[in-house]
Amino acid sequence: MKSVVTLLALMSVLLTCSSQAAPSTNPAQVQIQNFGDANANALWQSFRDVKSKTRLRPLRILQLGDSHTAGDYFTGQLRQSLQRDYGNAGIGWLTPGYIPNQRSAQVLLRHPKKWQVVDSKQPNHTGTFPLGGLIQKPTASSTLEINIKEPLLPGAWTLHLWQQAPHDAWKVKLANGKQQALKNTEKSRAAWRHVEMAIDGSQLDGVKLLAPKGGKLAGIVLDKNAPGVTLDALGITGSVAAVINRWDVATLKQQLSWRSPELIILAYGTNEAFSNDFQVATYEQELVKTIRLLRQLNPKAAVLLVGAPASAKNKPPFRKTNCSLPLPPALLDVQQSQLKIAKQEKTLYWDWAAAMGGNCIVNNWLKQTPELMRPDMVHLSKEGYYLSADRFYQALQQQINTP
């Protein structure tokens, strides 16, 4: 009885807590809004076709974002739900090796020697940035070990690399000690070249990539050769949406054409919200530029803009509201701009803060057992990300199942 009373009390708080981002009803019923995305209906039909097994090719989803994406808790839970209901087409796109403060829910990447990370969000870092915005420069003769956290589906898989190798090719060392060069599939002289190899799922765990002298790595992709869904989570901790405008357009076109995602999710806004010199006009211009670029390069994909989640800040500068905790100085501006641009650019839109219970929910989430928010009041706990992902998936299902 006590647990029931506690649950009812929590539901009451969630229902009544006001949102500064948008009016909130039941957080669990916050819908994905379609402001006129021309590819949305085809996307929902693709989901239905995959589920009915009338479509055999995988349905690809790409999420680009900040640390909320880079941690792969939200996307990991979402991926698990999607693949449970629509089929598992693989692990998908991973960072190019180990990146500090980032993780994959499914894979642990290890390299014993330190590699040099080139990060597109850093103004002093330059390069031909690929999809995901990260480049790794390994030391000569270094290795990268791929450790799978959970048992893999048996059968045929494909290991893909996006890489540069001016001299020797990238090679793979299997668990049985055999080495094999990856096959080059690129005939052009593109900045980044795609190589691949077929591999049985039983051989994938513990595989080592052998880096050639002068080689660079831009991404690893692990696909199951089967129908279903993949969700590629490419986040950069500390990034803002404008980082995409630093990525090389020719490379983006090449990689998006190869991957062909049917849904691109943009999940930024938290770092912009904490900015002390946030400029609404500049932010909106950059966000519009990003959306239009992605649509130009991948015109068949639906675009879904995720509103910045609730967060709080107890040291100035901050914005005082009727919430028990002050808000980041630009959170409301960011959320309002995201909604405005979603309408203007005719995208899909999901209000993450409203789905949490509103911007005033942070203090309540900190007091839950287990906590749904981390003490920094910026990041959610694992349970908070899982709850958010479940609510997003429920909203996604509503769209898919509505003819």
Cα 139 from Cα 123, distance rounded (Å): 23
**DSSP label at residue 160:** E
pTM of the model: 0.93
Domains of the chain (ranges; CATH) run 7-89+228-403 (3.40.50.1110), 90-225 (2.60.120.1360)
Digit-by-digit pLDDT tens for the chain (403 residues) are: 434 333 333 443 343 343 343 444 699 999 999 999 999 999 999 999 999 999 999 999 999 999 999 999 999 999 999 999 999 999 999 999 999 999 999 999 999 888 999 999 999 999 999 999 999 999 877 899 999 998 888 899 999 999 998 766 889 998 888 898 888 776 667 789 999 999 999 889 999 999 988 899 999 999 999 999 999 999 999 999 999 999 999 999 999 999 999 999 999 999 999 999 999 999 999 999 999 999 999 999 999 999 999 999 999 899 999 999 999 999 999 999 999 999 999 999 999 999 999 999 999 999 999 999 999 999 999 999 999 999 999 999 999 999 7
CA dihedral 333, 312, 379, 259 (to 10 degrees): 0
Distance CA 183, CA 39 (A): 34
Phi-psi region of 78 (alpha: psi -120 to 50; beta: other; left: phi over 0): alpha
Measured at the CA of 82, the angle between CA 76 and CA 87, to 5 degrees, comes to 120
